[in-house]
A = this chain, B = another copy of it.
């Protein structure tokens, strides 16, 4: 049953094993006659070259390691799907690992990738320790950060323009007439969480304003929901708008406001998210949000990774791609204000 080898094919075809190998090597020189014989024999035996053996000798596994986390946030399944398609187009395959925020675990993952001779690594929403980055460098494996960065000293990265994006959200909310704008941030242990908070603060500051409140939502539904409850669990002044660090948390916030507290959106309060995952456009949420251009981010990360595989000396770059505010029904706009 199992493995038919090039030797088996060679024997049946009456040619050398080298000839068989050449037939399966694009661009190698085989005569029409030999090619036919090999093809017939291969077909009869159901032969397919063993890619692992090939990798061993060529040094190219055509495997990319992908670390991904937060799969309950719709942004990542979508990213995974597009990364998969984009890499397949280029003839690469994906070895996936789920990560948590546990650095220890991430270490094990990277070591696994090295063991499997992956040609490159994409780390989606995961930071890499100095040690790990160094480990990959020593093994000559390029790493790209997706939706995270670690500064100019860190590995190359592809993110959206989180700072200016959040700046724009702040502007949008101020122009919408909001006076008490709170922020439930993404995890402040992540660059994306910090960048969005900083951009948001800067945006408000440009109007001489400060956040009504600013609390870490940890990218978690339960935490974001608790924060939302806390913001309204007193008789003092309440926010009239909340900018949430990503859509995934924004949905939790909207659920709490509407279903638990009976607060209307956007009549009583405006909510704005970040990402523009498909769910944001669904009727139940209709969420105004800063879009992350996933398609372009994916194309860029794949392009840059393959570039780096081909040329390991390429300068590490931090690529930021501009987003776009998708205005839907969850936040009052300047127009509605004057109308």
Contacts and interface: CB of A to CB of B under 8 A. Distances in A.
Contact of A84 (B49, B81, B96): B96
A56, A59, A258: residue with the most chain B Cβ atoms closer than 10 Å = A56
Interface string A240-259: 00000000000110111011
Contact of A48 (B115, B255, B283): B115
Interface in A193-211: none
Interface residues of A, number: 58
Given A139-B1, A259-B284, A96 B98 contact: no
A293 to B, nearest CB: 18
A114 interface: yes
Contacts of A1: 137-140
Nearest to A105: B88
Interface in A68-121: 71-72, 74, 76-78, 80-81, 84-85, 88, 93-98, 111-112, 114-117
Interface of A: 1-3, 46, 48-53, 55-56, 59, 61, 63, 71-72, 74, 76-78, 80-81, 84-85, 88, 93-98, 111-112, 114-117, 135, 137-140, 251-252, 254-256, 258-260, 278-279, 282-286
